[in-house]
Amino acid sequence: MLTREEILSADDLKTEAVPVPEWGDGAEVLVSVLDGERREYFERMAQERKDSKVSAEDHFRATLLASVLVDESGNRLFSDEDIPALNKKSSVVLDRLFTVAQRVNCSRKEDIEELAKNYGRAPSESSGTD
């Protein structure tokens, strides 16, 4: 059986490098698995938006991406304040990164649809998320 120390020291926040040629020749970004705290925050924020019926400035994909795009040390590249600016980037790139973020976080299509509904809209059928 694992000990407390073994569990807490396990490197379980894996990342995946994703090519983003639109942002430069050979450009890549790292997409990380959410830690439990950030996932809870993301889900709580979605519920709060649903409860308050906020729909303006709902940056669903950019909000998730701000939580999972990290540097090589695992630090977030974007703060929550960066979400509106991140959302102004190419929808093609955001969809590509969102699809990877969904996959590496083992998010089911139903989970994403529920979170999107809480944000006030469903993901587009053409987003390629499964």
Label residue 38 by pLDDT band (50, 70, 90): confident
CATH topology of domain 13-122: rbstp2171 (3.30.2220)
Reported pTM: 0.74
Across 80-107, average pLDDT: 93
Domain positions in the chain: 13-122
Tell me, letter by letter, the H, E, C secondary structure of the chain. Answer: CCCHHHHHHCCCCCEEEEECHHHCCCCEEEEECCCHHHHHHHHHHHHHHHHHCCCCCCCHHHHHHHHHEECCCCCECCCHHHHHHHCCCCHHHHHHHHHHHHHHCCCCHHHHHHHHHHCCCCCCHHHCCC
What pLDDT was estimated at residue 110? Answer: 66
